[in-house]
Amino acid sequence: MVRILGLLFVAVLALSACTTVQPQLGTDGKPLPKVYRIRSGDVSKIQFRMLDSVNTLRQAAGQSPVQFDSQLNAAAATHSRDMSNQNRPWHFGSDGSSPIDRVRRVGYSGNLVGENISETYENEVETLAAWMDQSDTRRVILSPQANKMGFAWSQEENGKLWWTLVMGE
C-alpha cells in the first residue's frame, strides 16, 4: 500500500511539472513585461556583457573594438540617475546639461561620439538589440571614430531601467 501511494505521489509530481504557466496579459492583450532585477553583484558582469556585445557588433561591421572608460561610465551613470529622477528619457539633464557637458564634468578630454538612452524593463542585451534596430542609435554604436565606451543604468524599485551608453574617441 505504501509503495502504491509513493508511486501515485511521484506520478502526480511528474504530471504537475508538465503544466504550462500562462503569462499575465495587460489591457492591450500583450504579455506584461517580466521584471529584470539587477543585483549589486551583477554590475561588472552586465557591463562586460554589454562591452562584449558591442564589440561583437562592431567587429561584424568591420569596426575596431572599444574599451571601457571610467569617466564615460561615470557620465552614463549620472545621466541614468537623472533621467530616473526626471521620469523621462531624454538627452538633457535636469540642469539643462547636454551629453557634451556631462562628459566634460567628469574630466573626459576626448571627443563625444554620441549617447544612447533607453527607458525600459528589458535587459541590456534586449536594449542593445532595440538600439541596433534604429539607424541613429546604431550609428553611435558602430561609429568608426569611437574607441571608448561608457555604460551604466539606474533601476527603480518597480524594476524600470534607465540605460545610458556613451561612446567617445
Q: What is the mean pLDDT of residues 121-147?
A: 96
Q: Which residue has the cell 503569462?
A: 23
User: Concatenated DSSP letters for 33-74?
Assistant: PPP-PPPGGGHHHHHHHHHHHHHHHHHHTT----EE-HHHHH
C-alpha dihedral (6, 7, 13, 14), degrees to nearest 10: 160
Candidates 109, 131, 121, 106; CA nearest to 153 is 121
DSSP, collapsed to helix, strand or coil, labels residue 135 as helix
**What is the per-residue pLDDT for 29?**
78
pLDDT level of residue 22 (50, 70, 90 thresholds): low
Judged against a pLDDT cut of 60, whether residue 13 lies above it is answered with no
Specify whether the CB–CB gap between 89 and 131 falls below 8 A. Answer: no
**166 CB contacts (<8 Å, ≥6 apart)?**
72, 75, 76, 79, 99, 103, 112, 114, 115, 149, 150, 151
- pLDDT for res 9: 47
The Cβ of residue 28 has, within 10 Å, a number of other Cβ atoms equal to: 7
- For residues 83 and 99, the answer to whether their CB atoms sit within 8 Å is no
> Which grid coordinates are listed for 106?
567628469
- What does the pLDDT read at residue 120? 86
pLDDT tens figures, 58-76: 999 999 999 999 999 999 9
Task: Rounding to the nearest 10 degrees, give the CA dihedral for residues 137, 141, 142, 143.
Answer: 90
Per-residue pLDDT band for 11 (boundaries 50, 70, 90) equals very low
Q: Which residues pair with 25 in a beta bridge?
A: 31
pLDDT tens-digit readout, 73-97: 999 999 999 999 998 888 988 899 9
Q: CB-based contacts of 100: which residues, under 8 Å, 6+ apart? A: 112
Residues 94-126 pLDDT 10s:
899 999 999 999 999 999 999 999 998 889 999
